[in-house]
Structure 1
């Protein structure tokens, strides 16, 4: 079923509920959308035919590409009638709530319907210690509607206990894995390109917007004055922009090959324009250093840093990554990513990471961040599977 995105309204008209098992996940913060989509992807592998409803507070936080079995809706307002209508339409078989920021009316309605619920990635910042008695009671009731609570750390556990959560329901596990599985690639093409480029340093500029073309090209021009054999692989955000990119590269006096035309890099090739769909797994594997585009100029929001990290590529990025700010901050703290601001700083960063030991250290740190939380995700998947196996599935007509 295709993914849907719908805004809040006084009277909601939801798309048809699919037949079979339905897991409802909720991202209380935009940064957690990717972790829940990753959970949804892995859950469907474990349980073929499963559908996932992902509720968010703002659907602008969703990535461009959403798996076919995932539906996205904004969470209903805290109105008893709207919450009952939401649950009555979707008839979920389990609820997985991320972070905190509880919605007592919705969660109480779910509890009254006997819906199994688990809280994952519970953070201290997701729970206010309010002094208003009725709010404290409603938060306590909502908290104890969760059969299991997976807390990120001891601070979160202490906050939850003070708010009235039963300690025996809490497990300190750390956060869910946010990154997805490593992207696949054409192994024959990878081997051929690896052999051709074996003695050449390579860097990748991925998902580059047209208003960034000039900056990336200039950064490469500056870099090859020092590292003469350095080659750039540049992937435009839209393959349809490939012609414009080719013209700008040629206009800058750089020798290029165009992948969509069957071009293959030669010893003298300075730029490979990779203007095709579905081959990012190939380019990330070839390049020890990746600049994630859609980030140097404003208005694009950045691209997912977990993609290159999962394939062992060090990460460079611009200052405009508001869609992924939490993820980039996490990589930067781990020494796995560095920010650049213009062509000059991008060129300097590429040259610094041209030293194999520098890029390898960053790439290892990036991989560790990308794979962190995999065990927690496995535990949550096991819990979901146990609940689905023990619970009669509520079909659309049930």
Structure 2
């Protein structure tokens, strides 16, 4: 089956080039550094360290505390962060090559890592096979496996079992995910449930200070709400709710942050078309009293922007994208609102809902109503914010558990 998979992967390469080229129309970064996607990264990485792979921007953010902790524990060990998309580029990195034997071997010849960590669940057959052949340990960290994915993998039978048995360790987010891996043929001795790394985030004093300063400059006496990680279809709902809210709270400021950089322009066009007075965060301007919307069109500032707001709506949840991370606003002790499509964060959202730290909305009317309720009542707003941050603190510890599991595969620490 591996031979068939590899042959198909070679055959579809022209389609992949076409897709990268087309995506490059909106995000030029997709048209750059193609050689890295085929394992040519000489001079861009330091060998004999750790390779950490995260496919998306969300996983890269979850990996930041892990990278910091590894750097602190192993200061002389090089860390190469690989991603699939340009948006995951917060740390100096190279692209992970396509899962073609020649590309993977070329990459590993250059990087020659002691350990490879893959965030969440990226199961690439050739990477797994070649790492196993080279006796390079592979850890899947913060691993999750949805019921839907598990059903799909089950159809692959013995192929999947053989693949999983070549993985050194899977550190699962919860027991449910762990059981799904076991049902596919993973040996119990290769599984540990560590909890989710996404809980191991914190608001640094520097970040908090920046947010306080910006809040004073932007809206010292105005209420502020933020809508983040929005997808196509969600900005319209958010802006319609904002239009209604302005009738009740005339000085209300909305910070709107689309999920992908290639959609910043669409959000600007829509905001302009709806007749709002708006500015772009990238302009460096300070909102005037007549500014109704700030469009967050910068990268790497989301955690700080949450610190400016009184409450947050997290997108990808009113449309069928599975939702994005509710713990980032929770870290600022502000109430979190999300739509019903939250399967990417099912476990985390369930914990927040049980603790009354998350409010579910379904459309313009319910979004406007819930935001209004929170803005009207300071005690109600603080109640939801406090409960959200408590859930975050109660579930921390996955990072320390994971670091202990990685220790046998890394050189002794200097004390």
TM-score when normalising by structure 2:
0.63
Note the 1:265-280 alignment, pairs <5 A: 265=289, 271=292, 273=294, 277=298, 280=302
Q: Which digits, 9 at most, give the CA deviation of each residue in 1:216-259, with x for residues without a partner?
A: 45423422444x4662243465888999789678x56x899999
Q: CA RMSD in A?
A: 5.2
In the alignment, does 2:162 pair up with 1:138? yes
Give 3-state SS (helix, strand or coil) of 2:166's partner.
Answer: helix
Give 3-state SS (helix, strand or coil) of 1:316's partner.
Answer: strand
In the alignment, does 2:76 pair up with 1:54? no
Look up the match of 1:395: none
Of residues 303, 306, 317, the one that matches 1:284 is 306
Query: How big is the shift at 1:371?
Result: 5.4
Note the 1:1-398 alignment, pairs <5 A: 12-16=38-42, 18-26=45-53, 34-36=61-63, 39-48=66-75, 50-54=78-82, 59=84, 62=85, 64-77=87-100, 83-98=104-119, 106-122=127-143, 135=159, 138-139=162-163, 141-143=165-167, 146=168, 148-154=169-175, 156=178, 160=182, 163=185, 165=187, 167=189, 170-177=191-198, 180-182=201-203, 184-185=206-207, 187=209, 190=212, 193=215, 201-206=223-228, 216-226=238-248, 228=249, 231-235=252-256, 237=258, 251=275, 260-263=284-287, 265=289, 271=292, 273=294, 277=298, 280-292=302-314, 305-317=326-338, 326-327=344-345, 330-331=348-349, 334-335=352-353, 336-340=357-361, 342-354=363-375, 355-368=377-390, 370=392, 374-384=396-406, 387-390=409-412
Once residues 210 and 188 of structure 2 are traced to their aligned partners in structure 1, the CA distance between those partners, rounded to angstroms, is 55
Once residues 55 and 236 of structure 2 are traced to their aligned partners in structure 1, the CA distance between those partners, rounded to angstroms, is 38
Once residues 278 and 180 of structure 2 are traced to their aligned partners in structure 1, the CA distance between those partners, rounded to angstroms, is 60
Distance of aligned partners of 1:340 and 1:388 in 2 relative to their CA distance in 1, 3 Å threshold: same
Query: How big is the shift at 1:18?
Result: 1.1
* Uncovered stretches (5+) of structure 1, i.e. residues with no partner: 392-398
Once residues 405 and 370 of structure 2 are traced to their aligned partners in structure 1, the CA distance between those partners, rounded to angstroms, is 44
Give 3-state SS (helix, strand or coil) of 1:109's partner.
Answer: helix
Once residues 54 and 255 of structure 1 are traced to their aligned partners in structure 2, the CA distance between those partners, rounded to angstroms, is 36
Query: How big is the shift at 1:326?
Result: 0.6
Larger radius of gyration: 1
Once residues 332 and 96 of structure 1 are traced to their aligned partners in structure 2, the CA distance between those partners, rounded to angstroms, is 28
| Equivalent residues of 2:224, 2:253 under 8 A apart | yes
Query: How big is the shift at 1:367?
Result: 3.0
Distance of aligned partners of 1:330 and 1:207 in 2 relative to their CA distance in 1, 3 Å threshold: closer
Aligned residues: 366
Structure of greater relative contact order (alpha carbons < 8 Å, 6+ residues apart) = 1
Query: How big is the shift at 1:91?
Result: 1.2
Once residues 282 and 101 of structure 1 are traced to their aligned partners in structure 2, the CA distance between those partners, rounded to angstroms, is 29
Distance of aligned partners of 1:343 and 1:379 in 2 relative to their CA distance in 1, 3 Å threshold: same
Distance of aligned partners of 1:337 and 1:301 in 2 relative to their CA distance in 1, 3 Å threshold: same
Q: Which digits, 9 at most, give the CA deviation of each residue in 1:198-222, with x for residues without a partner?
A: 7764423457789877654542342
| Equivalent residues of 1:201, 1:229 under 8 A apart | no
Once residues 328 and 373 of structure 2 are traced to their aligned partners in structure 1, the CA distance between those partners, rounded to angstroms, is 22
Q: Which digits, 9 at most, give the CA deviation of each residue in 1:141-169, with x for residues without a partner?
A: 414xx1x54344455269639936263x5
* Uncovered stretches (5+) of structure 2, i.e. residues with no partner: 1-28
| Equivalent residues of 1:260, 1:276 under 8 A apart | no
Give 3-state SS (helix, strand or coil) of 1:203's partner.
Answer: strand
Query: How big is the shift at 1:52?
Result: 2.4
Q: Which digits, 9 at most, give the CA deviation of each residue in 1:149-203, with x for residues without a partner?
A: 4344455269639936263x54332233367553754737726846996776442
Range moving further from structure 2, 365-374 or 343-352: 365-374
